[in-house]
Amino acid sequence: MTLTEIIFILAGTCTVMLFGVKLICLVMVLAPKICYPLPESFMTSLGKWAVITGGSDGIGRAYAQELSKYGMNVVIISRNQEKLDRAARTIELATGVQVKVIAADFTKDNIYGHIMECIEGLDIGILVNNVGILPSQIPCRLLETADLEERMYDVINCNVKAMVKMCNIVLPGMKERGRGAVLNVSSGIAKIPCPLYTLYAASKVFVERFSQGLQAEYRSKGIIIQTVAPFGVSTSMTFHQKPDLVTFSAEDFVRSSLKYLRAGDQTYGSITHTILGWIMQAIPTWVLRSEAFQDNFEEYVKERIRR
Ligand SMILES: NC(=O)c1ccc[n+]([C@@H]2O[C@H](COP(=O)([O-])OP(=O)(O)OC[C@H]3O[C@@H](n4cnc5c(N)ncnc54)[C@H](OP(=O)(O)O)[C@@H]3O)[C@@H](O)[C@H]2O)c1
């Protein structure tokens, strides 16, 4: 056999193996109920309470609603007291569970003592680090961000620091009880170089790496730590874009993503977003980095928002 033949055979074998692995992954994503079965009592077996940051609206509120349907009491934390009370009333009326609300602004540093006091002694089974903000509603180059100096602290405090601080508050109890789950909401755009969302995407890369490391440290203590990385979800962050093939309603997304709770330390939370993630990662990075792509993408997003 010649060297060229050996190289071709090796390349062929690697390609077949790569596609084989992708196929197995796809089958597992397509059948979460079979591959990652969750008994009805699984959520409450982790603890009586779920704590959700940014829980009064969007994806966070959907997590609070969905987890309450499993019989968990919920604590929701965000800034606006009225919105919190409204969300709490809706959940209590629908499911009869207890709902605690905490008004706190995650862009600030001095909130964690109060949060700790409010949730002290609760048997917390699930922590959803959901709060996250964009530096600018319209994607733009970093230096074009309005009030950049202030916004960069806000984004880092909300998207990065809040997650680390909340883990520091909640994890010790989970470790002591030997059970619990921490869901850290990342973003599909953390998986690719993402100009025009540079600061936001970088903050979400932190979420991913932090979660992977933490899961390795605490898996043996009975704690699940997972990043959930959606692409499009119809919320105020995305101007309540109409749900379609790739954009989910917050409720549908959360219902789907919870099925992957036992699927490992990272999930896109749905079949559609998993496939979208694979497609995005297959795009050569020089395309994503090109000026032409950036200009067209900026125009496309502005046009969608305008519509
Ligand atoms: N929507 C998407 O397409 C999408 C895609 C990928 C990832 N994500 C991620 O998913 C998470 C949730 O996004 P979303 O679309 O549901 O956002 P959203 O609709 O804007 O909801 C944000 C929630 O966070 C609260 N919040 C905002 N700023 C806060 C602050 N400084 N301190 C405390 N609470 C604050 C809001 O309530 P108040 O305003 O009353 O404080 C609200 O309850 C974020 O981490 C986001 O990065 C979203």
Token pair 């789950």 is at which residue? 181
Summarize pLDDT for 244-271 with one digit per residue, the tens.
989 999 999 999 999 999 999 999 999 9
Q: Which amino acid is at 267?
A: T
Does residue 18 sit within a domain? Answer: no
- Predicted confidence (pLDDT) at residue 274 exceeds the cutoff of 80: yes
Kindly report the CATH number assigned to the domain that includes residue 291: 3.40.50.720
Q: Ligand 1: does its nearest atom lie under 6 Å from the Cβ of 110? A: no
Q: Which of 52, 53, 57 to mutate to test the pocket of ligand 1 (most atoms within 8 A of CB)?
A: 57
Does residue 31 sit within a domain? Answer: no
Domain that holds residue 78: 38-306
Q: Ligand 1: does its nearest atom lie under 6 Å from the Cβ of 57? A: yes
Tell me how many domains the chain contains. Answer: 1
What is the average pLDDT across 67-95? 98
Does residue 25 sit within a domain? Answer: no
Distance between CA 81 and CA 68 in Å, rounded?
Answer: 20
Does residue 106 sit within a domain? Answer: yes
Residue 199: band (very low, low, confident or very high) from pLDDT cuts 50, 70, 90: very high
Distance between CA 65 and CA 71 in Å, rounded?
Answer: 10
Does residue 82 sit within a domain? Answer: yes
| Structure tokens belonging to residue 119 | 């949730």
Residue 132: band (very low, low, confident or very high) from pLDDT cuts 50, 70, 90: very high
Does residue 15 sit within a domain? Answer: no
Average pLDDT score over the chain: 95
Does residue 116 sit within a domain? Answer: yes
Q: Which amino acid is at 162?
A: A
Q: Ligand 1: does its nearest atom lie under 6 Å from the Cβ of 160? A: no
Does residue 23 sit within a domain? Answer: no
Q: Which residues make beta-bridge pairs with 233?
A: 248
